[in-house]
Chain A
Amino acid sequence: MSTFGAVFGEAFRLIGALDLALLDIVWLSLRVSLSAVLISTVVALPFGAALAVTRFPGRDALVVTVNALLGLPAVVVGLAIYLLLSRAGPLGTFGILFTPAAMVVAQAVLIFPLIAALARQAVADAWREYAEQMRSLGAGPVASSLALLHDLRFSLVTIVLAAFGRAIAEVGAVMIVGGNIDGVTRVMTTAIALETSKGDLPLALGLGIVLLGIVLLLNVGAHLLKERAQRHHA
């Protein structure tokens, strides 16, 4: 277990043997991050599109705020959600602190500005081309936003993937609100942090390899989807 090569060998053996503890952790990571992405996307895409196509007082301030939150540190989100969900907090009655649900909430909040800001930018760029035509047809902000989101769907896939990447790779927020409880709230990133500090490098490295593989596979899929769509729609 002391040499670099031996660590890698053991890591691949764990993956190859479909080690149950490892699989549980991977499965929970996927569940939490996919749920967070799903929830955040459903809200953030229309929100970003609406910011792009409507004009109202305070809109510019809102755009700057959302853009600024792109750099939101995961631990700060974790802390904020922790305070909200803790027994004494305003949402304490739900009792979801230190459960996967709390982790979903934290990750959804973390990636919301990312999806909203990038979607707003994409829609705003396209809106320059579409605005007159949409107004001429009599399309209001809702119909215009939905039509633009539909037209930009393949670019938005990339944005959502980036958000998924951020969610599944972050460690600070899930550590704070999940608590890294073995078999309950332990996900890949918190497990890697813990196992590394404990010295169980093969498990940590195995998880790291799986994490990379998942992100890579998703991106390959998105790339193929986009290629096909672009050939189809010119």
Chain B
Amino acid sequence: MREPGPPMLPLVLEGIGFSAGGRDILSGIDLVLEAGPRTVILGPNGAGKSVLMRICHGLLAPTSGRVLWSHRERPGEPRRQAMVFQRPVLLRRSVLGNLTFALAVVGVPHYEREARAVAALGRVGLAAHARRPARVLSGGEQQRLALARAWMLEPEVLFLDEPTANLDPGAVREIEAIVQSIHASGTKVVMVTHNLGQARRLGDEVVFLDRGRIVERSAIDRFFRTPATAQADAFLKGELPWH
């Protein structure tokens, strides 16, 4: 069901800078995101992780530099990238209605919507909740619905901005399992997280940001075992005091 067409990836960021209110939030970001490996963006609070992700996804325009997709999305085309936010925004309608709305927005014909939405709910274990109002779901269920909404469109890239912050451990496990399945189905996963255990479980590579700059990029094992920079070392020691 994925839109035919040339792949969007790799995504190339060239000299990206972003400032707001006279403060530089990102500067000199050069980054290439390839299809395949799951990329985890780590860094201390205020490093600019979420801003970087929003620039990739097109929600923010960089103050300087260029965002180059291999194949550019044109306005009006169904989106081939999706994002799941820390706090999912669900519409005040049924669980199923939230999904059929997202399908309608990208131009899926009326007769296909319900079947696709029901299938998407099944994949995240929410089939039994289809007719309930979305806003009465628990936090974990709401996030699963947000994942179903993103996954349903079979995006080439999925951006996740701390998708399990403030969720209980059971819900976190469910979310992580879904993210694994989404990756397994062929979607590139790019994730910001504060949970280092989660980064290890879900990541293949780390992009480490500090004060608006990328200071290190390496495979996940190497990053945790032998960080190459003093900043990453300090970050890991600070986050994992028992190291």
Contacts and interface: CB of A to CB of B under 8 A. Distances in A.
A50 to B, nearest CB: 17
B91 A137 contact: no
Interface stretch (A115-123, A125-133, A174-182, A192-200): A125-133
Contacts of A139: 105
Contacts of A135: 58-59
Contact of A150 (B54, B93, B135): B93
Contacts, number: 47
Contacts of B135: 233-234
Interface string A131-149: 0110111110001000100
B92 A151 contact: yes
Nearest to B82: A136
A131 to B, nearest CB: 9
A157 to B, nearest CB: 14
Contacts of B149: 137
A133 B85 contact: yes
A233 B98 CA distance: 13
B89 A130 contact: yes
A151 B98 CA distance: 11
B37 interface: no
A130 B59 CA distance: 12
A55 interface: no
B232 interface: no
A135 B54 CA distance: 11
B133 interface: yes
B102 interface: yes
Contact of A138 (B78, B85, B92): B78
Nearest to B83: A136
A136 B133 contact: no
A29 B123 CA distance: 56
B103 to A, nearest CB: 10
Contacts of B106: 137-138
A147 B83 contact: no
A232 B133 contact: yes
B186 to A, nearest CB: 20
B136 A234 contact: yes
A132 B54 CA distance: 9
Contact of A143 (B79, B93, B105): B105
A130 B105 CA distance: 15
Interface in B128-173: 133, 135-136, 149
A234 B57 CA distance: 31
Interface in B71-110: 78-79, 82-83, 85, 88-89, 91-93, 101-102, 104-106
Given A136-B59, A138-B78, A234-B135, A129 B89 contact: yes
B158 to A, nearest CB: 11
Contacts of B101: 147
B194 to A, nearest CB: 20
B209 to A, nearest CB: 20
A151 B58 CA distance: 25
A136 B80 CA distance: 10
A138 B136 contact: no
A150 to B, nearest CB: 7
Nearest to B105: A139
Interface of B: 54, 57-59, 78-79, 82-83, 85, 88-89, 91-93, 101-102, 104-106, 133, 135-136, 149
Given A151-B93, A234-B136, 9 more contacts: A129-B89, A135-B59, A136-B59, A136-B83, A137-B82, A139-B105, A150-B93, A151-B91, A233-B136
Interface of A: 129-130, 132-133, 135-139, 143, 147, 150-151, 232-234
